[in-house]
Amino acid sequence: MKNKLILLLAVIVLVSAFVVFLVKRPSSEYYTLQRTDVDYKILASCTVSFPEPYAMAAKSEGDVKIIAVAEGQQVTLGALLIQVDDFKERQNLTIAQNNYENTRLKLVNAKEETYPRLKEQLNDTGSVLADAKKQAERMQALYAGGAVSKVEFENAKTKLDTAQARFNQAKLQLDSYARSGAAAELINQLNILNAQVELAKRAVHEKQFVAPYDCTIIKINVKEGETVTVGKTAVIILEKKPWVLETNVDQKELGFLETDLPCLVVFDAYPSEKVRAVISLVCSTIDQAKGTCNLKLQIKENRAFIKHGMTGSVEISGKKVRGVNVQVLALPSQFIIRESDANYVLVDRDSKIEKIRVEFSPIGENWVSISNIPDGTRIVLPNEDRPISSTRTGER
């Protein structure tokens, strides 16, 4: 009795396993059409294009005095990286600044002291001249009336002549200064000296390697005490910005692309690492020769191994488009029978296999959207050994 019970249990287990096999089997050989969303993936190769390493070359010759940074160090905008000996250049700058300042003071003196002083002198001599004229006229009247002597009258005329001469001299000096353009000449000299100061400042600046933006020091090619020549690369830096990759995809994918779509990047040199990214730019201009459009992807993770110029592949999660890959009658592509005259599928109707013409739109490489077969239809995976009862043109 016990043996029969064991045998019965074994039979039940075998039957259950067979039933499970039958249930599981349709998942690979059968597919029931139903409206669903297709997770559309776009695959492409990509290259790291930005930021690019920037080689800072020497603009003048000199001995390296200070190396203020180390390779791998992060620095901010304006930080001193390398200092080349600039003693001579600073001396020239000091001389140029002194010359400029002296000329500037002369111009200030000309505008604020010399011209006003000459004008004041003219006013003073004019006032003296007016008084002398009045006194001479008064003495002439008194002399005519016999109230004063001829000597007193002659003295008054002499003072008038002297006042007139001094006034003429003051006016001549003022007119001469105004016509000479002394102030304009000083302004011209000041402009020339200012240009010399700026050139001297540039010469001093060219002896320094200063960070043009927040960056990381990639490589230092000089040592302290070494003489650098014009054009020699002293340091290579990398701007501190997120990595940007470029890729080209087929123009037919444009409808599934937009900014901020998530991506997964795998670099050729690190095949086991998956890096998150997003689309930062979709270029709608089509390359007519290749039939592709350009994308820019921005890396969203800080991975130390990423370098400019690295290549890899990217998997882009295409956007959801109603009627295209959202709530469509989706069918895996392997169920399609592609023949020269048309495309077909095998439909299971009451255990009879019918070959039916099918109309569809591709959804990437792995899926199609069926348009002429109703929801709930059971599609059979093509098999050369499977008997087909009939062939139909299709149905709506």
For residue 280, being part of any structural domain is answered with: yes
For residue 148, being part of any structural domain is answered with: yes
- Percent of the residues in the chain that have a pLDDT greater than 70, as a whole number: 87
For residue 267, being part of any structural domain is answered with: yes
Q: Round to whole Å and give the CA distance between 168 and 170.
A: 6
Do 185 and 101 fall within a single domain? yes
Do 77 and 161 fall within a single domain? no
For residue 157, being part of any structural domain is answered with: yes
Q: Is the pLDDT of residue 50 over 60?
A: yes
For residue 34, being part of any structural domain is answered with: yes
Task: Identify which has the larger pLDDT, 83 or 390.
Answer: 83
Instruction: Look at the chain and report how many structural domains it folds into.
Output: 4
Pairing of strands 390-392, 352-357: parallel
Q: Is the pLDDT of residue 112 over 70?
A: no
Structure confidence at residue 80 (pLDDT): 96
Locate 22 and state its tokens: 């039958």
For residue 199, being part of any structural domain is answered with: no
Do 79 and 218 fall within a single domain? yes
Do 172 and 255 fall within a single domain? no
* CATH number, domain containing residue 388: 2.40.420.20
- Residues 218-267: pLDDT tens digits? 999 999 999 999 999 999 999 999 999 999 999 888 888 999 999 999 99
Point out the domain boundary residue: 274, 294, 317. 317
pTM higher than the cut 0.75: no
Do 336 and 189 fall within a single domain? no
Point out the domain boundary residue: 283, 317, 351. 317
| Long-range contacts of the stretch 284-290 (C-beta < 8 A, 24+) | 284/254, 286/251, 287/248, 290/248
- Residues 131-151: pLDDT tens digits? 888 888 888 888 787 777 878
Do 277 and 132 fall within a single domain? no
Q: How confident is the model at residue 52 (pLDDT cuts 50, 70, 90)?
A: very high
- Residues 151-191: pLDDT tens digits? 887 888 888 888 888 888 877 766 666 555 666 787 788 89
- Residue 67 domain boundaries: 54-85+207-238
Do 188 and 286 fall within a single domain? no
DSSP H or E run through 392? strand 390-392
* CATH number, domain containing residue 311: 2.40.30.170
For residue 67, being part of any structural domain is answered with: yes
Q: Round to whole Å and give the CA distance between 124 and 185.
A: 28
DSSP H or E run through 289? none
203, 84 contact by CB (below 8 A): no
* Unique residue bearing structure tokens 């300042």: 101
User: How is 331-369 classified by DSSP, letter by letter?
Assistant: EEGGG-EE-SS-EEEEEEETTEEEEEE--EEEETTTEEE
User: How is 173-206 classified by DSSP, letter by letter?
Assistant: HHHHHHHHTHHHHHHHHHHHHHHHHHHHHHHHHT
Point out the domain boundary residue: 301, 317, 333. 317
In 3D space, the residue among 333, 357, 345 whose CA is nearest the CA of residue 386 turns out to be 345
Q: How confident is the model at residue 21 (pLDDT cuts 50, 70, 90)?
A: very low
* CATH number, domain containing residue 63: 2.40.50.100
Do 212 and 304 fall within a single domain? no
Structure confidence at residue 137 (pLDDT): 83
Do 153 and 215 fall within a single domain? no
Do 310 and 259 fall within a single domain? yes
For residue 298, being part of any structural domain is answered with: yes
What Å distances lie between residue 9 and 5, 21, 151, 236, CA to CA? 6, 18, 165, 76
Q: Round to whole Å and give the CA distance between 82 and 209.
A: 5
Structure confidence at residue 366 (pLDDT): 84
